[in-house]
Amino acid sequence: MKLRLLLVVAGLALAAFGLVNAQTSMTSKETIAQIVAKDPQFSTLLTALKAAGLDKTLGEKGPFTVFAPTNEAFAKIPKATLDALLKDKAQLTKVLTYHVVAGKVMAADVVKLKEAKTLEGSPIMIDVMGNVVELNKTTKVTKTDIEAENGVIHVIDTVLMPMK
57 in Cβ contact with 51 (< 8 Å): no
Residue 26 banded pLDDT, cuts 50, 70, 90? low
Q: How far is CA 37 from CA 20, 45, 123, in A?
A: 24, 9, 27
Mean pLDDT of 45-65: 94
Residue 11 belongs to what H/E stretch? Answer: helix 2-17
User: What CATH number is given for 2-156 in this structure?
Assistant: 2.30.180.10
Q: What pLDDT does residue 125 have?
A: 96
Confidence of residue 145 (pLDDT cuts 50, 70, 90): very high
Q: Which residues contact 78 (CB under 8 A, 6 or more apart)?
A: none
- Vertex 105: Cα angle to 164 and 91 (nearest 5): 25
* pLDDT for residue 15 is more than 60: no
What percent of the chain clears pLDDT 90, i.e. is strictly above it? 71
d(CA 128, CA 74): 23
Greater model confidence, 24 or 71: 71
Q: pLDDT, tens digit, for every residue of 101-122?
A: 999 999 888 778 899 999 999 9
Q: What is the b/e burial string over 4-28, where b = at least 16 CB atoms within 10 angstroms of the residue's CB? A: bbbbbbbbbbbbebebbebeeeeeb
Q: What is the pLDDT of residue 130?
A: 81
| Average of per-residue pLDDT across 7-27 | 39
Decide if 155 contacts 9 (C-beta within 8 A): no
Q: Average pLDDT for residues 34-49, to the nearest whole number?
A: 97
Is 51 strand, coil or helix?
Answer: helix
Q: What are phi and psi of 134, to 5 degrees?
A: -120, 140
pLDDT at 87: 95
Query: Higher confidence at residue 136 or residue 111?
Result: 136
User: What is the pLDDT at residue 138?
Assistant: 93
